[in-house]
């Protein structure tokens, strides 16, 4: 089973701590296919993380 996008995102953000990241940068680094649901899903995940102040 492939790793969930949320888990991949959290792992990546730990390594990028202290740096500003953009959605386009995240999509590139996490190799998200523009035709996949994850392309828009990452925006929602980042919004939720920002609300939690993570």
Instruction: Please state the pTM of the whole predicted model.
Output: 0.82
What is the pLDDT at residue 10? 94
The structural domains of the chain, with segments of one domain joined by +, span: 5-51
The string of pLDDT tens digits covering residues 1-50 is 357 999 999 999 999 999 999 999 999 999 999 999 999 999 999 999 99
**Nearest Cα residue to 45 out of 11, 16, 5:** 5
What is the pLDDT at residue 1? 34
Phi, psi of 33 (to 5 degrees): -70, 130
- How confident is residue 54, by pLDDT bands cut at 50, 70 and 90? confident
Determine the Cα–Cα distance for residues 3 and 19; give it in Å rounded to an integer: 24
């Amino acid at each position: 089973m492939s790793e969930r996008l949320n888990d991949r995102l959290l792992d990546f953000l730990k390594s990028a701590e202290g740096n500003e990241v953009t959605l386009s940068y995240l999509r590139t680094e996490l190799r998200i296919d523009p035709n996949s649901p994850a392309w828009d899903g990452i925006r929602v995940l980042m919004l939720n993380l920002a609300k939690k102040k993570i």
